[in-house]
């Protein structure tokens, strides 16, 4: 089963993303900030990471950079879930190794449709 | 597929309120160059905006966007943190709260304030209205009108490192295949010799033909994430027919599979058929809308996982004990009595722990009630021009949620009073040799089975004389009354009592201290005042930790069993004859060390029969409430136990002297005594007695004088 790590400091967004993914048959794990996400990533394997950008402790950009350093996450798709749609943000994400971005407001159908671009 | 997210609205609302509280308290503590604080404020606003957008709460999204923009400028250092901006942001937090409360209550909120504040925000940001909503993402809504299929030619030349960001051309092609019929040809020209292949690089490029209704924007969207890392040309081809299927090669950088061959077309067809069937699915039975729109009321508690875990553990133990006992009951004989006893003992333990755990779930840190005060004091000190520091202590002290909800307003009143009446103006403070900055301290701590909340100010203290004179004016006391300090301060809680010369906007809004006291008493609590001239005052509120359970002393009067709240009991004793004083009338006083305690026989209070009518053979339970002690005369003391309180109001009606009822282990109902109620009953009774005596004397005098006149 496809395993997705959902990283967001907002409980409700995290719950919603998880719920959406689960209802589409994905398996999910959740982390409440970048640091937590990195710890969870180190202790397991995932087929996809969906991460917020603005978070305490470690932001999504830094998480992405750290994940890319791990051999198990070198090719793993990492999607940034963000309200910031500016080109600058996308550039930073890309430079950090992000696969793509999902722009909030979060829309479940769109999420499911777009993540098909990176996972089976 | 359609995913209904409305079930997450309550948790969004709850989270938003928490975010707003965080924003507010952080704004109040915001200092120049404090990046972490401004970041956390920004994050809170950001989360609210994100959530609101998800649920389509556009008013919140739009308003919060303005707030967020202002915060963003502060965060980037483009704007220095001015007090003025902080005030606007605080106003904005209020507006956001109004908007979110309106969502919760399903009402419409006052748009005037919102509009006013957003104009203010826009003015501050110096942006014009038209640019305010920048979140419009989908720019291709207009170009969807094409009906027929078109053939798109797509040339896709990815950069070598494309797969290193987690993107995989195969999935992109799958996504394209979702849009229509896809055929593709791979170009392997750049593929190096096997020995030179770097498994982490991509060497292929593709020529794709897509026959689809999709617009160019939709196709571009598929390549959205890779457009900077590839050469992409999309052209509409009106003439050419479908390109014949070709074998496709992709390389993917995993271990030993450097070339994969896949038959994409069959896959694509499969996909198309599956999307069609999916469409059918969605069109036939519309996804069931949850019948009555769930009320977004916040009747929920967030509970720490540790608390839930301990509950589950305890339930597990309970189940084990239960199965052990039922096993025992299968073929029970006397040899197993000991086992039965130990089983019951365990059951008792389990039940007790379970009860405690369940109670703990309702417990929240008092910071929930305290959180509003920094803002309140901030606003009040601005209004009054007094410089006041607020200190919060013991914010982690836990309290029952119901108690917390009801104690909020009385506390607000007490804090308002402390600002308005307690703290003196700066000049007066300097004249008194104090720091011009006043301090108000809120402190919460546990004491025995109750929680104590202290509201302390370092102001001028309560003017004893002013209180007394006011009471005189109101006719509550007469000139000859001598009162102790606590008694004088108790006058503050008399209805309609206010020593303030003028009613100000801050305190004295018609809700008096009497209401505060009543509210606290209705929670089973009490309030005491301490004050020292020139040094300040302390209002001490004593509350039970929970309203549902009470530690009680069971007592027997005749055949009735009553429960006295353990918290009120000073001591229980067997009266000694030489310490009993009978005062005129049927009032009996008992000498308890330096106090004279009025004795109240419960049998006469409730007019029931009792075993003993004389105090010598009865037992005396000395209780204290409102700073007064009385002795309750009972026949016998029974066990002490925790009882679950059943409201008398809900089941019957209010009865003077009784605060509730409970059901005992044997199924019988016992009344819980309301000690402060009994004390005031006793007072009334003695007043009536005195009035009666006065009347008698008056009558006697009249008769005598009439007799003399004759």
Query: How far apart are alpha carbons B206 and B201 in whole angstroms?
Result: 16
**Do B51 and A12 lie within an 8 Å CB cutoff?**
yes
DSSP string, chain A: --EEEEE-S-HHHHHHHHHHHHHTT-EEEEESSHHHHHHHHHTS--SEEEEESS-SSS-HHHHHHHHHHSGGGSS--EEEEES---HHHHHHHHHHT--EEEESSP-HHHHHHHHTTT--
Query: How far apart are alpha carbons A101 and A52 in whole angstroms?
Result: 10
Name the DSSP class of B633: E
Q: Structure tokens of B454?
A: 């202290």
- How crowded is residue B80: how many other Cβ atoms within 10 Å of its Cβ? 10
Identify the CATH number of the domain in which residue B103 sits. 1.20.120.160
For B166, the closest of A103, A109, A118 (CB atoms) is A118
Residue A31 lies in a domain: yes
Q: Structure tokens of B59?
A: 């008013």
Q: Structure tokens of B579?
A: 């310490």
Chain A contacts in chain B segment 161-220 (CB below 8 A): 163-168, 171-172, 174-175, 178, 200
> Which one of B528, B544, B560 terminates a domain?
B544
pLDDT value at position B508? 45
Query: How far apart are alpha carbons A42 and B371 in whole angstroms?
Result: 38
- How crowded is residue A107: how many other Cβ atoms within 10 Å of its Cβ? 18
Query: How far apart are alpha carbons B534 and B537 in whole angstroms?
Result: 9
**Do B5 and A83 lie within an 8 Å CB cutoff?**
no
The position carrying tokens 């009497």 is B514
Identify the CATH number of the domain in which residue B585 sits. 2.40.50.180
First-to-last alpha carbon distance for chain A, in angstroms, is 10
Nearest to B694 by CA among B586, B585, B581, B588: B585
For the question of residue B519 being annotated catalytic, the response is no
- CA B408, distance to chain mean position in Å, is 11
Chain A contact residues (CB < 8 Å to B)? 9-13, 15-16, 19-20, 23-24, 54-56, 74-78, 83, 85, 94, 97-101, 103-109, 112-113, 116-120
pLDDT value at position B566? 86
**Do A104 and B54 lie within an 8 Å CB cutoff?**
yes
Identify whether the C-beta of residue B638 lies closer than 8 Å to the C-beta of residue B555: yes
Name the DSSP class of B6: G
DSSP string, B75-92: HHTSS---HHHHHHHHHH
Identify whether the C-beta of residue B678 lies closer than 8 Å to the C-beta of residue B630: yes
Tell me which of B8, B13, B47 to substitute to probe the interface with A (most A C-beta atoms closer than 10 Å).
B47
Q: Structure tokens of B564?
A: 């006295």
**Phi, psi (rounded to 5 degrees) for B206:** -135, 150
Residues B530 and B569 occupy one common structural domain: no
How many angstroms away from the CA of B19 is the closest CA of chain A? 10
How many angstroms away from the CA of B392 is the closest CA of chain A? 25
**Do B135 and A97 lie within an 8 Å CB cutoff?**
no
**Do B3 and A83 lie within an 8 Å CB cutoff?**
no
Residue with the bigger pLDDT between B273 and A119: it is: A119
Identify whether the C-beta of residue A47 lies closer than 8 Å to the C-beta of residue A3: yes
Which range marks the domain in which residue A94 is found?
Answer: 3-115
- CA B454, distance to chain mean position in Å, is 20
**Do A16 and B8 lie within an 8 Å CB cutoff?**
yes
Query: How far apart are alpha carbons B387 and B617 in whole angstroms?
Result: 62
How many angstroms away from the CA of B35 is the closest CA of chain A? 12
Residues B658 and B572 occupy one common structural domain: yes
Partnered with residue B582 across adjacent β-strands are: B588
Query: How far apart are alpha carbons B49 and B45 in whole angstroms?
Result: 6
pLDDT value at position B706? 64
How many angstroms away from the CA of B282 is the closest CA of chain A? 12
Q: Where are the beta strands (DSSP E) in B458-521?
A: none
For the question of residue B68 being annotated catalytic, the response is yes
Angle at A79 between CA B287 and CA A34, to 5 degrees: 110
Instruction: Identify the active-site residue in B167, B417, B443, B456.
Output: B417
Dihedral over Cα of B501, B502, B505, B508: its sign: positive
Helix, strand, or coil (residue B417): helix
Name the DSSP class of B239: S
Identify the CATH number of the domain in which residue B178 sits. 3.30.70.1110
> Which one of B328, B343, B361 terminates a domain?
B361
Residues B480 and B460 occupy one common structural domain: yes
How many angstroms away from the CA of A42 is the closest CA of chain B? 17
Angle at A79 between CA A75 and CA A83, to 5 degrees: 160
- How crowded is residue B663: how many other Cβ atoms within 10 Å of its Cβ? 12
Query: How far apart are alpha carbons B13 and B101 in whole angstroms?
Result: 8
Which range marks the domain in which residue B203 is found?
Answer: 146-283
Domain count of the fold of chain A: 1
**Do B53 and A9 lie within an 8 Å CB cutoff?**
no
Helix, strand, or coil (residue B516): helix
First-to-last alpha carbon distance for chain B, in angstroms, is 107
Which stretches in chain B have pLDDT values below 50? 127-146, 240-298, 501-510
Partnered with residue B187 across adjacent β-strands are: B205
Residues of B in contact with A105 (CB under 8 A): 50, 52-54, 56, 61, 135
Query: How far apart are alpha carbons B535 and B375 in whole angstroms?
Result: 25
**Do A15 and B167 lie within an 8 Å CB cutoff?**
no
Chain A contacts in chain B segment 302-341 (CB below 8 A): none
pLDDT value at position B407? 87
The position carrying tokens 């991460």 is A51
Query: How far apart are alpha carbons B636 and A30 in whole angstroms?
Result: 60
Residues B172 and B152 occupy one common structural domain: yes
For B171, the closest of A9, A13, A117 (CB atoms) is A117
Q: Residue B326 is inside which H or E element, if any?
A: helix B305-330
HEC letters along B129-195: HHHCCCCCCCCCCHHHCCCCCEEEEEEEEECCCHHHHCCCHHHHHHHHHHHEEEEEEEECCCCCCHH
**Do A105 and B61 lie within an 8 Å CB cutoff?**
yes
**Do B165 and A97 lie within an 8 Å CB cutoff?**
yes
Buried b (16+ CB within 10 A) or exposed e, A63-83: bbebbbeeeebebbbbbbbbb
- Give the number of A-B residue pairs with CB atoms closer than 8 Å: 116
**Do A78 and B166 lie within an 8 Å CB cutoff?**
yes
Residue B244 lies in a domain: yes
Q: What is the β-pairing status of strands B180-187 and B150-158? A: unpaired
Nearest to A67 by CA among A89, A48, A86, A92: A48
For B46, the closest of A20, A54, A100 (CB atoms) is A54
Residues B468 and B600 occupy one common structural domain: no
Residues B371 and B394 occupy one common structural domain: yes
- CA B103, distance to chain mean position in Å, is 17
Interface check for B5 against chain A (CB to CB < 8 A): the answer is: yes
For the question of residue B46 being annotated catalytic, the response is yes
pLDDT value at position A29? 93
Identify the CATH number of the domain in which residue B398 sits. 3.30.565.10
For A75, the closest of B51, B166, B172 (CB atoms) is B166
Residues of B in contact with A26 (CB under 8 A): none
Residue A87 lies in a domain: yes
For A56, the closest of B8, B40, B225 (CB atoms) is B40
H helices present in B634-674, as ranges: 648-651
Identify the CATH number of the domain in which residue A61 sits. 3.40.50.2300
Residues B241 and B312 occupy one common structural domain: no
Residues B376 and B488 occupy one common structural domain: yes
**Do B166 and A11 lie within an 8 Å CB cutoff?**
no
The complex's ipTM works out to 0.82
For A116, the closest of B52, B56, B174 (CB atoms) is B174
Residue B226 lies in a domain: yes
Over range A92-107, report the average pLDDT.
83
**Do A100 and B11 lie within an 8 Å CB cutoff?**
no
Domain count of the fold of chain B: 5
Residue B710 lies in a domain: no
Residue B689 lies in a domain: no
Query: How far apart are alpha carbons B17 and A116 in whole angstroms?
Result: 35
Burial of B566 (C-beta count, 10 Å sphere; 0-12/13-18/19+): middle
Identify whether the C-beta of residue B84 lies closer than 8 Å to the C-beta of residue B121: no
**Phi, psi (rounded to 5 degrees) for B658:** -125, 130
Residues B460 and B575 occupy one common structural domain: no
Cβ neighbors of B601 (< 8 A, separation 6 or more) are: B610, B613, B615, B618, B633
Angle at B305 between CA B304 and CA B309, to 5 degrees: 125
Residue A66 lies in a domain: yes
Residues B102 and B152 occupy one common structural domain: no
> Which one of B104, B131, B158 terminates a domain?
B131
Instruction: Identify the active-site residue in B68, B181, B454, B560.
Output: B68
Instruction: Identify the active-site residue in B21, B24, B46, B378.
Output: B46
Tell me which of B1, B2, B3 to substitute to probe the interface with A (most A C-beta atoms closer than 10 Å).
B3
Residue A120 lies in a domain: no
HEC letters along B215-228: CHHHHHHHCHHHHH
pLDDT value at position B224? 81
Residue B139 lies in a domain: no
**Do B5 and A13 lie within an 8 Å CB cutoff?**
no
Dihedral over Cα of B205, B207, B211, B214: its sign: positive
Query: How far apart are alpha carbons B266 and B386 in whole angstroms?
Result: 79
Tell me which of A10, A18, A77 to substitute to probe the interface with B (most B C-beta atoms closer than 10 Å).
A10
Residue B39 lies in a domain: yes
Buried b (16+ CB within 10 A) or exposed e, B583-622: eeeeebbbebeeeebbbbbbbebbeeebebeebeebbbbb
Residues B192 and B204 occupy one common structural domain: yes
Tell me which of B39, B44, B225 to substitute to probe the interface with A (most A C-beta atoms closer than 10 Å).
B225
Identify whether the C-beta of residue B113 lies closer than 8 Å to the C-beta of residue B54: no
Identify whether the C-beta of residue B61 lies closer than 8 Å to the C-beta of residue B52: yes
Quick check: bond before A105 cis, omega within 30?
yes
For B8, the closest of A15, A77, A119 (CB atoms) is A15
Query: How far apart are alpha carbons B4 and B55 in whole angstroms?
Result: 10
Residues B553 and B535 occupy one common structural domain: no
**Do B167 and A112 lie within an 8 Å CB cutoff?**
no
pLDDT value at position B709? 56
Residue B664 lies in a domain: yes
Burial of B536 (C-beta count, 10 Å sphere; 0-12/13-18/19+): buried
């Amino acid at each position: 089963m496809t395993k997705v790590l959902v990283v967001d400091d907002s409980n409700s967004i995290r719950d919603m993303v998880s719920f959406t993914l689960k209802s589409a048959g994905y398996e999910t794990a959740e982390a409440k900030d970048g640091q937590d996400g990195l710890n969870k990533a180190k202790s397991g394997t995932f087929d996809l990471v969906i991460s917020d950008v603005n978070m305490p402790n470690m932001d999504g950009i830094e998480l992405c950079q750290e994940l890319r350093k791990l051999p198990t996450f070198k090719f793993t798709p990492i999607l940034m879930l963000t309200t910031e749609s500016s080109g600058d943000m996308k550039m930073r994400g890309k430079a950090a190794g992000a696969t793509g971005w999902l722009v909030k407001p979060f829309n479940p159908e769109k999420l499911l449709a777009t993540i098909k671009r990176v996972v089976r | 597929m359609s995913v209904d997210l409305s079930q997450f609205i309550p948790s969004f609302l709850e989270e938003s309120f928490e975010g707003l509280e965080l924003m507010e308290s952080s704004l109040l503590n915001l200092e120049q160059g404090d990046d972490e604080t401004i970041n956390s404020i920004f994050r809170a606003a950001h989360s609210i905006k994100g959530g609101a957008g998800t649920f389509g709460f556009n008013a919140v999204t739009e308003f919060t966007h303005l707030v967020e923009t202002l915060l963003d400028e502060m965060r980037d250092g483009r704007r220095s943190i001015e007090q003025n901006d902080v005030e606007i942001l605080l106003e904005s937090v209020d507006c956001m709260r109004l908007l979110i409360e309106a969502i919760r209550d399903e009402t419409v909120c006052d748009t005037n304030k919102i509009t006013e504040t957003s104009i203010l925000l826009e003015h501050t940001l110096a942006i014009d209205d038209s640019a305010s909503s920048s979140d419009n993402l989908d720019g291709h809504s207009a170009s969807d009108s094409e009906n027929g299929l078109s053939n798109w030619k797509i040339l896709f030349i990815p950069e070598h490192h494309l797969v290193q960001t987690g993107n995989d051309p195969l999935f992109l092609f799958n996504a394209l295949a979702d849009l229509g019929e896809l055929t593709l040809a791979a170009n392997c020209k750049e593929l190096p010799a096997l020995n030179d292949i770097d498994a982490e690089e991509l060497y292929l490029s593709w020529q794709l033909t897509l026959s689809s209704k999709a617009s160019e924007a939709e196709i571009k969207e598929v390549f959205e994430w890779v457009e900077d890392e590839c050469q992409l040309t999309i052209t509409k081809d009106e003439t050419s027919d479908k390109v014949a299927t070709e074998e496709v090669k992709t390389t993917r950088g995993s271990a030993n599979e450097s070339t994969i061959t896949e038959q994409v077309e069959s896959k694509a067809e499969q996909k198309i058929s599956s999307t069609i069937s999916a469409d059918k699915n969605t069109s036939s039975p519309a996804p069931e809308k949850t019948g009555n729109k769930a009320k977004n009321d916040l009747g929920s508690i967030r509970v720490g996982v540790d608390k839930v875990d301990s509950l589950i553990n305890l339930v597990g133990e309970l189940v084990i004990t239960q199965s052990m006992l039922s096993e025992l009951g299968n073929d029970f004989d006397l040899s197993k009595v000991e086992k039965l006893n130990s089983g019951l003992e365990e059951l008792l333990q389990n039940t007790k722990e379970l009860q405690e755990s369940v109670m703990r779930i309702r417990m929240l840190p008092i910071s929930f009630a305290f959180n509003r005060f920094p803002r309140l004091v901030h606003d009040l000190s601005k209004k009054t021009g007094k410089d006041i520091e607020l200190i919060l202590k013991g914010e982690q002290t836990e309290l029952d949620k119901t108690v917390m909800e009801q104690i909020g307003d009385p506390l607000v009143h007490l804090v308002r009073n402390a600002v308005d009446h307690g703290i003196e103006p700066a000049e007066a403070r300097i004249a008194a040799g104090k720091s011009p900055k006043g301090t108000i301290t809120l402190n919460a701590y546990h004491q025995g089975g109750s929680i104590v909340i202290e509201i302390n100010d370092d102001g001028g203290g309560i003017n004893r004389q002013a209180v007394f004179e006011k009471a005189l004016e109101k006719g509550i006391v007469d000139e000859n009354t001598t009162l102790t300090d606590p008694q004088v301060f108790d006058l503050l809680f008399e209805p309609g009592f206010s020593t303030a010369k003028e009613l100000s906007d801050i305190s004295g809004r018609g809700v008096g201290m009497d209401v505060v006291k009543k509210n606290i008493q209705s929670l089973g609590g009490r309030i005491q005042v301490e004050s020292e001239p020139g040094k300040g005052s302390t209002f001490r509120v004593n509350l039970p930790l929970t309203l549902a359970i009470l530690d009680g002393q069971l007592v027997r009067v005749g055949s009735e069993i009553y429960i006295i709240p353990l918290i009120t009991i000073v001591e229980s004793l067997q009266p000694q004859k030489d310490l009993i004083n009978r005062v005129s009338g049927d009032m009996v006083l008992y000498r308890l060390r330096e106090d004279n305690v009025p004795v109240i026989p419960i049998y006469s209070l409730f007019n029931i029969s009792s075993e003993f009518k004389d105090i010598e053979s009865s037992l005396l339970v000395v209780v204290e409430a409102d700073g007064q002690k009385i002795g309750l005369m009972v026949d016998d003391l029974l066990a002490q136990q925790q009882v679950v309180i059943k409201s008398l109001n809900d089941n019957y009606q209010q009865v003077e002297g009784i605060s509730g009822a409970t059901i005992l282990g044997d199924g019988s109902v016992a009344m819980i005594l309301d000690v402060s109620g009994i004390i005031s009953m006793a007072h009334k009774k003695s007043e009536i007695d005195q009035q009666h005596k006065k009347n008698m004397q008056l009558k006697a005098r009249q008769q005598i004088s009439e007799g003399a006149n004759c």
